[in-house]
DNA sequence: TTAACTGCAAAGCCTTTGCAACACG
DNA sequence: CGTGTTGCAAAGGCTTTGCAGTTAA
């Protein structure tokens, strides 16, 4: 996960203009929150993001994390992932993709769209329904868990 | 949705033995909760279920609904559906199936497994991951909503 | 009869909101 | 400078828990 200063500057510039396009101020907090979310494939919860951001901005509050997550969702900079968890999980990967979910530890891995043969419907949909997109969730067990193995804490 | 007394008796018997198999007492509350959940394809929330059950058992408490939902989930009589909502949605349809989700009003419709051509992976999975099942969520707009149309309350 | 279940009320999360001080543009 | 943003604290939902009384088997 090495990243040099130049790359970071470029990303910050890109983020700054994406904010500008939407009339959002580019604050230090926003940049750190976004950089951390976009820098992980872990689909972090607000709480996990808070913990990470706090390492850089100890004074940040959880409310700011929540407010900005909402702002980013509205702006289309983040997406919410559906999981059986009772807490929100976020995804900064805006490309169309699918998910691999470990039934034991809950870990979610992304699968690129082109790893899956396009899904077809064999039968007509209920009348009037128009499909815009679809998402496949594969449920199974990751290497660390394996079926029958208890979830590690 | 007509159902005669005989059919109901049969279902109740079936439910009673399913409870017995798992060492669960067959209470009036449990039967009504289960019957109502199994009698709808609407993937009800605990609150919606509470409202329905209350019509028959006005004294029931929301805590009893929650406790029994948990009991049924553990017993495998219900499943939890993943949605972008922040509230739990339940499904008494235990057959393998897929979902059609209206992006506007949030309604979820079931699609039988055999309406979808089996999904294939073109590329290998991350090392060690074993897939047990998968679920396809189609996102779109139902007949009542249509894109661009405001969600009705 | 006895273990399990119910209903109530209180507590526990996660998330949102109101407001004064502060920062971006 | 003015609007938008932050941090704090309090409030709001949804869900869980503890307990005394009740019920199924």
Contact B129, A136 (CB under 8 A): no
For residues B73 and B70, give the distance between their C-alpha atoms in angstroms, rounded to a whole number: 5
**CA–C1' B104–D12 (A):** 25
**Per-residue pLDDT, B1:** 57
**Per-residue pLDDT, B151:** 40
pLDDT in tens, A87-137: 899 999 988 899 988 877 677 888 999 999 889 888 888 888 899 889 999
The pTM of the full predicted model, rounded to 2 decimals, is: 0.86
Give the DSSP letter string of B62-109: HHHHHHHHHHHHHHTS-EEEP-SSSS-EEE---S-EEEEEETTT--EE
Of A82, A112, A130, the CB nearest to B84: A82
For residues A46 and A60, give the distance between their C-alpha atoms in angstroms, rounded to a whole number: 13
Decide if pLDDT at B101 tops 50. Answer: yes
* Domains of chain B with bracketed CATH: 5-81 (1.10.10.10), 95-140 (3.30.1490)
**Per-residue pLDDT, A6:** 83
Query: Which residues, 6+ apart, have CB-to-CB distance to B147 below 8 Å?
Result: A130, A132, B104, B141
Closest nucleotide to residue A26 (Cα to C1')? C24
Judged by average pLDDT, the poorest of B56-70, B87-101, B107-121, B137-151 is: B137-151
pLDDT in tens, A19-53: 999 999 999 999 999 999 999 988 999 999 999 99
Taking the Cβ of residue A42 and every Cβ of chain B, the question of whether any pair is shorter than 8 Å is answered with no
C-alpha distance from B9 to closest chain A C-alpha (Å): 32
Helix B5-21 / helix B28-38 crossing angle, nearest 10 deg? 110
Q: Tell if A125 CB is < 7 Å from nucleic strand D.
A: no
Q: Tell if A94 CB is < 7 Å from nucleic strand D.
A: no
Query: Which residues, 6+ apart, have CB-to-CB distance to A97 below 8 Å?
Result: A110, A111, A112, A113
For residues A56 and A66, give the distance between their C-alpha atoms in angstroms, rounded to a whole number: 17
């Amino acid at each position: 996960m090495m990243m040099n200063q130049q790359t970071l500057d470029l990303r910050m510039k890109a983020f700054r203009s994406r904010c500008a396009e939407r009339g959002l101020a580019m604050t230090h907090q926003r940049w750190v929150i976004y950089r951390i979310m976009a820098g992980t494939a872990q689909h972090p919860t607000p709480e996990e993001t808070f913990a990470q951001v706090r390492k850089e901005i100890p004074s940040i509050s959880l409310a700011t994390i929540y407010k900005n997550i909402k702002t980013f969702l509205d702006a289309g900079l983040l997406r919410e992932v559906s999981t059986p968890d009772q807490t929100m999980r976020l995804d900064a990967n805006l490309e169309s993709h699918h998910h691999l979910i470990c039934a034991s530890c809950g870990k979610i891995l992304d699968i690129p769209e082109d790893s899956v043969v396009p899904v077809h419907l064999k039968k007509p949909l209920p009348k009037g329904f128009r499909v815009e997109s679809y998402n496949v969730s594969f449920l199974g067990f990751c290497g660390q868990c394996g079926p029958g193995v208890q979830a590690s804490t």
